[in-house]
């Protein structure tokens, strides 16, 4: 299918999603189901991993008052940035969401929704994923793998918010392929779809290692539209209550996700000021 036709269908899919929330294929679950597979998640951990994703949004010496050493790496040509954090016997790598600067290269790559094979896999592989997210991941994968293999004795936790979740998903697949001995896990927030349906089916036996957190009214997880053949990966944790109409408000993306996670902390009796992040 041509790139022009993909772009047209993508736009058509967004229009339909605004009218009918049923067009999203995200399953609806309750926030109580925050334990899945090998994950033992609680409200504080859900917020901690979100905070690490926020730490990846720009290079900084210190993230709030968090007791973390921040090791950044990235690629300017694709505007991709990630941060590595070793903390409590786990090695975390969080990918930045899309840069908010107008015309940033990652914004254009996010729209390149034609699926393709990763350059790092054999030509005969059936693996296919969103070409724009693949290009972004490929631009930083060597630095990521160097860090992962240097910490293979740790649990590796890959994290991403929004488009960063798509990159984290691609990293998860490669790490588990190259080093099946590593305890690698994935958690994403408000991530768009990145894997084709055939690829997602191949990875289903690894879904117990992956969790995706979604705010109910956020449209980003409904993109690219399922009509293009893309599917989500990981156990679903829903924040908030769904409404019939899908919202296009930017507040229903990062801001509402952050607010919902903070509400969970409050309901659990956790004082966020004590956490440092």
pLDDT at position 142 over 90? yes
270-275: Cβ within 8 A, 24+ apart: 270/43, 270/44, 270/47, 272/47, 275/44, 275/47, 275/48, 275/51, 275/66
In this structure, what are the phi and psi dihedrals at residue 258, rounded to the nearest 5 degrees? -60, -45
| Contact criterion met (CB below 8 Å) for 189 and 161 | yes
pLDDT at position 100 over 90? no
| Contact criterion met (CB below 8 Å) for 44 and 270 | yes
For residues 243-252, average pLDDT:
67
In this prediction, residue 16 has a pLDDT band, given cuts at 50, 70 and 90, of very low
For residues 243-262, average pLDDT:
79
Range picked from 31-45, 87-101, 136-150 for highest mean pLDDT:
136-150
Q: Which of 73, 4, 265, 53 is nearest to 274 (CA)?
A: 265
The predicted structure's pLDDT at residue 103? 86
- Measured between alpha carbons, how far is residue 177 from residues 50, 95, 96, 208, 271 in Å? 26, 20, 23, 16, 39
The predicted structure's pLDDT at residue 32? 47
For residues 260-269, average pLDDT:
93
- Reading the block at residue 159, the tokens are 């994290």
For residues 124-131, average pLDDT:
95
| Contact criterion met (CB below 8 Å) for 144 and 172 | no
The predicted structure's pLDDT at residue 269? 93
For residue 58, how many other CB atoms are within 10 A of its CB? 12
| Domain count across the chain | 1
What distance in Å separates the CA atoms of residue 142 and residue 12, rounded to the nearest whole number?
36
For residues 216-239, average pLDDT:
92
Q: Could you tell me the CATH number of the domain that includes residue 63?
A: 3.40.50.1820
The predicted structure's pLDDT at residue 145? 98
What distance in Å separates the CA atoms of residue 16 and residue 109, rounded to the nearest whole number?
23
The predicted structure's pLDDT at residue 35? 64
pLDDT at position 13 over 50? no
pLDDT in tens, 160-186: 999 999 999 999 999 999 999 999 999
In this prediction, residue 198 has a pLDDT band, given cuts at 50, 70 and 90, of very high
Per DSSP, the three-state class of 165 is helix
| Contact criterion met (CB below 8 Å) for 186 and 215 | no
Q: Where are the alpha helices (DSSP H) in the chain?
A: 3-19, 43-55, 105-110, 131-138, 141-150, 163-178, 197-202, 254-267
pLDDT in tens, 52-81: 999 999 999 999 999 999 999 999 999 999
Angle (CA) 136 222 207, round 5°? 70
For residues 84-93, average pLDDT:
97
More confident residue, 27 or 101: 101
The predicted structure's pLDDT at residue 65? 96
Q: Which residues contact 140 (CB under 8 A, 6 or more apart)?
A: 73, 74, 75, 78, 80, 82, 167
Maximal C-alpha separation, the chain: 52
| Contact criterion met (CB below 8 Å) for 254 and 57 | no
pLDDT at position 31 over 50? no
The residues with which 230 forms a beta bridge, in sequence order, are 196
**Domain containing 255: what range?**
3-274
pLDDT at position 22 over 60? no
Percent of the chain with pLDDT over 90: 75
What distance in Å separates the CA atoms of residue 237 and residue 31, rounded to the nearest whole number?
6
The predicted structure's pLDDT at residue 245? 63
In this prediction, residue 244 has a pLDDT band, given cuts at 50, 70 and 90, of low
């Amino acid at each position: 299918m041509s790139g022009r036709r993909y772009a047209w269908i993508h736009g058509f899919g967004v229009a339909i999603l605004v009218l009918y929330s049923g067009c999203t294929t995200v399953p609806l679950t309750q926030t109580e189901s925050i334990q899945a597979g090998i994950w033992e998640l609680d409200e504080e951990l859900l917020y901690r991993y979100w905070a690490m994703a926020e730490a990846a949004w720009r290079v900084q010496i210190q993230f709030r008052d968090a007791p973390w050493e921040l090791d950044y790496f990235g690629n300017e040509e694709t505007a991709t940035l990630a941060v590595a954090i070793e903390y409590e016997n786990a090695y975390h790598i969080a990918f930045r969401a899309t840069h908010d600067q107008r015309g940033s290269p990652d914004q254009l790559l996010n729209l390149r929704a034609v699926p393709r094979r990763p350059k790092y896999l054999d030509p005969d592989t059936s693996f296919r994923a969103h070409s724009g997210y693949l290009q972004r991941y490929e631009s930083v994968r060597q630095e990521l793998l160097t860090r992962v293999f240097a910490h293979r004795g740790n649990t590796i936790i890959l994290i991403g918010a929004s488009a960063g979740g798509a990159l984290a998903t691609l990293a998860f697949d490669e790490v588990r392929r190259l080093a099946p001995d590593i305890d690698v896990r994935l958690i994403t927030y408000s991530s768009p779809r990145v894997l084709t349906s055939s690829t997602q089916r191949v990875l289903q036996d690894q879904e117990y290692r992956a969790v995706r957190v979604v705010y109910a009214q956020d449209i980003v997880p409904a993109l690219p539209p399922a009509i293009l053949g893309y599917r989500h990966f990981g156990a679903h944790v829903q924040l908030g209550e769904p409404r019939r109409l899908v919202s296009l408000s930017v507040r229903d993306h990062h801001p509402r996700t952050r607010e919902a996670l903070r509400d969970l902390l409050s309901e659990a009796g956790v004082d966020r000021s004590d956490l440092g992040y």
